[in-house]
Structure formats: structure tokens, C-alpha cells
Amino acid sequence: MNDLDSLTLEALRTRVRTLETELADAKAAARSGRNRPRLFMYMYGGLGNQLFQAAFAIVLREALDADLALIAASYKDDDLRSFMLVAFPALRFTLVPIDDAVGAMAIHERDCRHIPLSDLIPQLAVILEQSGRLFFSGFWQNESLFSGRQALIRSTLQPEVSEAVRAEVDRVRREESIGVHVRRHGYGHMGLVKASYYLEAIEQIRREKGDVPVKVFTDDPSFCHYMFRAIPNLIVEKKADIGNPMRDFCILSACRHHVIANSSFSWWAAWLNESETSIIYAPRPWIVTDSLTDPVPDRWRRIADAIQAP
């Protein structure tokens, strides 16, 4: 008589139920690896815009315990910009085609820009529980979207650069300097920053910090050479914010103080290296096309009437 013959009918049924439960658990575990909740973030814009989108995506991934996929389809026919987040190795993500997001519930920035993050996350959790996949579209230019997670964002959004660039960055960090960003090309519709803003901000910082050197990063060097012609101890760097701006971004960020343009490029350069001793100036308003968009933190200094409307 074998072991099976010795089992009672009830014992046999119990064993079968146990095996069925174990098999179901194994299948569920296999499915969980493949079908975890997934977040899709549609990427567009230059480096600064990509960093805002990435920062919000980091928060979403952590809060919703979901996998993160980025969609870079907008750069396929873009001759001016490229997808640059591959330079940030700590930002773990999967790059997928837009077809992968078909059927995902769409979440647009315009529909939730006034909802506090503390209320937004629980609402998104409910939707994600029901749908399993969310597709996010927007610029998400608001520091409050990663409030309380600044250390995580700063540690994650550190670019990987060459040894030569790293040496330049280290040299700039050892000195006290003012990083200035002047953006002009392809930006007139947003409103160009007035020369008076830059001159006043530099003067105010030097009034407190002395004759510290000024490094100007711009896409219009000729204009800046003329605008800053009377300011001593100032250099205009080579063209920035065009093509592959990572070197300029890293060196600009390494400056102790900042006079930023109404640009997410210089916003992030200032924010990533901000310290208690930093002085950061930003123009008011931010842009003339949308009065609701203003990512400047209250702790930064503002100069009013700084934008020339188109």
C-alpha cells in the first residue's frame, strides 16, 4: 500500500486545496513582477522642463509604489532639443514608445494644478488601483510637488559628466561667484528679461558679497558682451542652453549665487546647488503668457517689472 492509499478522503481533499492555494500564490507572484502598477510620464521641452517632469515622477513613483516609464516621442523631429535624462544615472526609469501607454488613464497638469500634493496623491492612488496604469502630461513646474522630498530630488538629479567637466565644476565651487543666465533665442513669446533686472541683481549681490566674479551663460554672447560692458570681473561663457548644454548647466549650478532668467534651465541650476548662504534672484513676473505659472520659491529674491512683453 502506498502513501496515497493510506490517506482518508478528507485528507486528500485538504492536500488538493493546499496545492491549489500554493499554485495560485505562485501565479500571483509571477504576475506581480510583470504587472506592477505603471506610471508613464510624457517628456517634452528642454533640460529644465525635463527635470521638473522627472522630479514629479520621482515623487509619484515613491508615493504610489509603481514602476516608472518615460516617453520621449516628442524629440523624434525636434532639431533644437534632445532627451537628456540619460545623463542622470540615479534616475531609474524605462524608456518606452508611446504605444505602450495606450489605454492608460490620462492625468493632465491643467486638471490638477490647484490640488495640493497631500490631496492629489490619495486620489491618484485610487485611480491607479482601479486602472493599473497612469499617463501624465504637463510641465509640472511647481516646487510644492516635491515638497519634503528635496534631499531625494537633489541626490537623484545629479548628472554624470566627464572628468574634465567635473574638474571645472569643482574649481567653481571652491570660489564664490555669481552665475547669470540670459536666454533670448526662441523665447520672445514668453517675454524677455530686461537688462535692468540683471544689472540691479548683480549690483545687489555685490553690495553684500563684495566684488565676486560673475559668470554669464547665454545663447546670445554678443548681446551680453554689450549689456555687461561696464561691469568689471565678468566673463561671458560660450553659448549655453543650445544642443547639448550639460557642461554649461553643471558649471552654472556650481556658482554660489544666481541671477536666473525666466527659464527652467537656470531655475534648476540654482535650485540644485542652493545653500543657506546662496543669494538667488528671479524676475517677476515669470512669463507673460500664463500668470498662473510661477515656480519661484518665496525664499528667493524677486525684482518686479523685469519682463519685456512681446
What pLDDT digit, counting tens, does each position of 221-238 carry? 999 999 999 999 999 987
Average pLDDT over residues 69-97: 92
Residues 121 and 237 in one domain: no
Among 21-35, 45-59, 116-130, 223-237, whose mean pLDDT is lowest?
A: 21-35
* 23 has pLDDT over 90: no
109, 125, 156: which is the final residue of a domain? 156
Residue with more model confidence, 11 or 260: 260
Q: Is 136 helix (H, G, I), strand (E, B) or coil?
A: strand
Rounded-to-integer distance, Cα 246 and Cα 81, Å? 12
Residues 76 and 168 in one domain: no
Quote the pLDDT of residue 98.
95
* 18 has pLDDT over 60: no
| CA torsion through residues 53, 109, 63, 27, sign | negative
What's the Cα-to-Cα distance from 279 to each of 149, 177, 303, rounded to whole Å? 22, 11, 13
User: How much is the mean pLDDT over the chain?
Assistant: 88
**Structural domains in the chain (count):** 2
* 27 has pLDDT over 80: no
Residues 260 and 175 in one domain: yes
The C-alpha cell that represents 115 in the structure block: 490640488
CATH number for the domain spanning 210: value is 3.40.50.2000
Average pLDDT over residues 90-112: 94
What is the percent of the chain with per-residue pLDDT over 90, rounded to a whole number?
75
> Letter for the amino acid at 47?
L
Residue with more model confidence, 239 or 307: 307
Three-state SS for 25-60 is HHHHHHHHHHCCCEEEEECCCCHHHHHHHHHHHHHH
Residues 169 and 62 in one domain: no
Is there a domain that residue 26 lies in? no
The C-alpha cell that represents 193 in the structure block: 528679461
Is there a domain that residue 60 lies in? yes
Helix, strand, coil share of the chain (percent; to 5) = 45, 15, 35
Quote the pLDDT of residue 309.
82
107, 137, 156: which is the final residue of a domain? 156
Quote the pLDDT of residue 141.
94
Range of the domain at 173: 163-308
pTM: 0.86
Quote the pLDDT of residue 1.
46
Quote the pLDDT of residue 240.
54
Quote the pLDDT of residue 310.
77
Residues 147 and 168 in one domain: no
Residues 101 and 230 in one domain: no
Rounded-to-integer distance, Cα 87 and Cα 78, Å? 19
